[in-house]
Structures are given as C-alpha cells and as structure tokens.
Amino acid sequence: MGCFKDAHARDLKYGPQKNGYTLSTCEAACTRFQYIALQGSAGWCSCDSKYATPRETYTQVDVVECDEKRAWRNAVWKNSKFDATWFPKDFIGCFKENTDDRDLKYGPQKHGYDSQKCRNACKDYTYFALEDNGRCSCDYSYGTAGVGSGEGKASHTKLKSSECGPHFLGTKGKYAVYNNTACKECHS
C-alpha cells in the first residue's frame, strides 16, 4: 500500500492501538480487517477495512518517511491474514438508511450499543439494527418491503456487508440488520 501521514484522529481506527507489534503479530491481531499499519520504531499496530480516508488528511508520502521519520507516519499493508468469511451471529446484511423515513422504527433509537446489547434491548422484535457505529433500533420487518425481503424501496437498498463497518455496528446512513434470536415468540 505505502506510507501515509497520520493525525490524532487516526486513519486506521481499530485493532490493538498500542506498541510492541511486528508485521506478523499485527496481522494476527487484525484478522477481521483488510489493512494493517505499523507506526514508529516501537511498532504501534492499528487496523481498518479502509485507509487514507479522507485522502486530503491522510496523504501518501515517500516510503522513505516511514523508514526515517516514523513519527505520525503509517506504513500500511494489505492484511494477508484477513478473514473475509467472518460475520457476526445472525447478521443478515447492510442496508442504506433514509433518516427521513427510518426502516426499523422501534426500540431505543440511541447510540452506545453493540450487537448483544441491541439484541437484548429488542427482545420483543424479530429484527434489530445498528447504524452509525452503534445506534440501536428494532422492528418486525426490515427493508420496508415486508418481513425478510431485504430488497425494499430505493431508500433502503441492500449494500455490501463491508459498508457497515468492520464490527458491523453500521456506519453513517447505513445500518446492519440482524435476525433477533433473543425474541422467543418471534421464532417459535
């Protein structure tokens, strides 16, 4: 990939985010991510499924800067140990959200949830979703075209799973839908 400038907000936002890693130990710690980065002589390891985003902030620089300066420079590699088959339990897919007409209309409708917390908060609903890195919602259907159809109208179209982020917590305007196994009445 190359050498890229970094900033306090960090380009690659996930992974150990600490020193003490080599290329191979960083890859092993980041199997759910497509890219890894090592920074500094102490081996600061981070990972993500994208890099240099936005390009205006995280610009590519000469590879020599990763060798000589090291501070605030990411040497980015494609992760050879990336496991593209990993998906969370009961994950259905990633969908485009319309914030004027939300698809899943019930539940907490707040941030701060992971899939387990949202599943429990939505225990009376067939489906739950996470959007924008942990905003939880619930409903009896998704995709707005009926239970489990997933096709929906244009405002709720199905996207590539990777568009919902590396932890499937959803991203801005995109939500990860799950089948809710905590709803006993829904699946009896």
Give the pLDDT confidence score for residue 44 in this predicted structure. 84
**Average model confidence (pLDDT) across the chain:** 80
Give the pLDDT confidence score for residue 88 in this predicted structure. 74
Task: Label residue 144 by pLDDT band (50, 70, 90).
Answer: low
pLDDT at residue 71 greater than cutoff 80: no
pLDDT at residue 107 greater than cutoff 90: yes
Per-residue pLDDT, averaged over 22-51, amounts to 84
CB 77 within 8 A of CB 4: no
**Burial group, residue 127, by CB count within 10 angstroms (0-12, 13-18, 19+):** buried
pLDDT at residue 177 greater than cutoff 90: yes
pLDDT at residue 89 greater than cutoff 80: no
Look up the pTM and report it: 0.55
